[in-house]
Amino acid sequence: MKVILFYPRGASSSGTQPVSSLAACLPPIGLASVAAVLRRAGHDVVFFDAVCRPEVADSVWVKKIIDEKPDFVGFSAITASFTNACAVCCAVKEACSATKTVFGGVHVSWGKETILTEYPAIDFVIAGEGEFAFLDLVNGKAPETIAGLFFRDGTRIKHGPDQDKKSLCVMDDLPFPAYDLLDGFPKKYNLPLFSYPRHPGASVISSRGCVYQCDFCDRSVFQKSFRWNSPEYTFELIKWLNTDFGVRHILFYDDLFTLDRSRVEKFCGLLRNHRPRITYNCIVRVGHIDDGLIQELKSSGCWMVNVGIESGDQNILDENKDGLSLETIKRDIHNLHSAGIWVKGLFMMGFPHETEASIQKTLEFACSLPLKDANITAFTPFPGSPVYKRIEEYGAFDKDPQNWEKMDCVNFVFLPKSIESGEILTKQYREFIRRFYNRPFMRKVYRKMLLESPHSYWRLIKHAAVFRRYAKSLE
pLDDT for res 234? 97
**90-112 pLDDT, tens digit each:** 999 999 999 999 999 999 999 99
Contact by Cβ (8 Å): 298, 280 = no
List where CATH 3.80.30.20 sits in the chain: 193-473
Kindly report which listed range (190-199, 345-354, 459-468) carries the lowest average pLDDT score: 459-468
Residue 444's pLDDT band (cuts 50, 70, 90): confident
Average pLDDT, the chain: 92
193-473 fold: pyruvate-formate lyase- activating enzyme (3.80.30)
**Which of 17, 24, 303, 7 is closest to 190 using CA atoms?**
24
- The dotted CATH code for 2-159 is 3.40.50.280
Lowest mean pLDDT among 42-51, 104-113, 217-226, 452-461: 217-226
- DSSP conformation class of 25: B
* DSSP per-residue string spanning 318-367: HHHSTT--HHHHHHHHHHHHHTT-EEEEEEEE--TT--HHHHHHHHHHHH
Q: How far is CA 5 from CA 68, 101, 116, 135, 274, in A?
A: 11, 10, 19, 13, 36
Q: Are 423 and 406 in contact (CB under 8 A)?
A: no
pLDDT tens track for 131-188: 999 999 999 999 999 999 999 998 899 999 998 877 788 999 999 999 999 999 999 9
Delimiting residues of CATH 3.40.50.280 domain(s) in the chain: 2-159
Q: For residues 93 and 360, what is the distance between their CA atoms, to the nearest angstrom?
A: 50
Query: pTM higher than 0.75, yes or no?
Result: yes
Pair 334, 370: CB distance under 8 Å: yes
The one-character DSSP state at 255 is T
Confidence class for position 12, pLDDT limits 50, 70, 90: very low
